[in-house]
Structure 1
Amino acid sequence: MKVVRLRNDPWEWKYTAIFSEKFNGEITNASDISQLDHFIYAAKFNPIFPTLIILSLTYLLILSGYLLLRKDTKKVTIFLLSLVAIYVLFGIVVTDSPTIGGRYFTVTFLTIGAINLVAAVLLSIREKNGGLICES
């Protein structure tokens, strides 16, 4: 199987090396391409590891937010709802991508958003019920 890399694919630079073009101007050599553009290229065509990176970063973000805000469940709920908005927005942005990575990331972002929404709703219900998720 042939390994295709962004550096070896000059016609792809126009579509994938967006950040390098914004920071450095026109891309003339493969050495002008930033690491962020390599991540985007990998996410487009070989999305397994970039998806794992996004999931790990999301876990760290949620854990950090919880640890910083755990004394006030209302703030944790607002934090989770803001993450819902961000991840749903990311999911909508990558929805139109024709690549397999775009489809993976759309599903990943929308799933993370849905999980955060459920967590925020459960926390809100628990706060209203005085610590219980369901009344019996």
Structure 2
Amino acid sequence: MNIGEEPYQLDVTWDIGAMGQSKHHIAHDYFNLTDELMNQDHKADSSLPECKSKKANYYVQRGCSFQMRHRLMAYIDRLIEKNEQIYEFRAEGRLNKVAIEKVVADHIVQKLHEQGRSSVGIKTCSNRELGIYRIEIS
């Protein structure tokens, strides 16, 4: 699909019937991807235009795609300050190679404990291949 003059990969059917997905949550894992990302676990049936741009990627557009840990943690801290219940982000490059889901979840729990919340439930739903993480707090 094209956005402006740029071609992107898109799979709107990916989360249909996906286990662990909330009926109230739309997964954006495969929205406006480069060929490199899509080809990690998809194979095209035919020849498609080359897709290299990340500009229209869902996570890039929302400002929640990170290559550096300190920027990710600053984003998480802003969500904590807003009392958000859902923390969704994309970890790129080396940031996706570490146990970032656990690091972020532990950070959230610690910050909430500092605010006086002694009982915090954590639910995660991740696509580690693409570096996409969703953490829900209850």
Bigger-Rg structure (1/2): 1
State the TM bucket, normalised to the shorter chain. Answer: 0.3 to 0.5
Normalising by structure 1, report the TM-score: 0.33
Task: Decide which structure has greater helix share.
Answer: 1
- Relative to total residues, which structure has the larger strand share, 1 or 2? 2
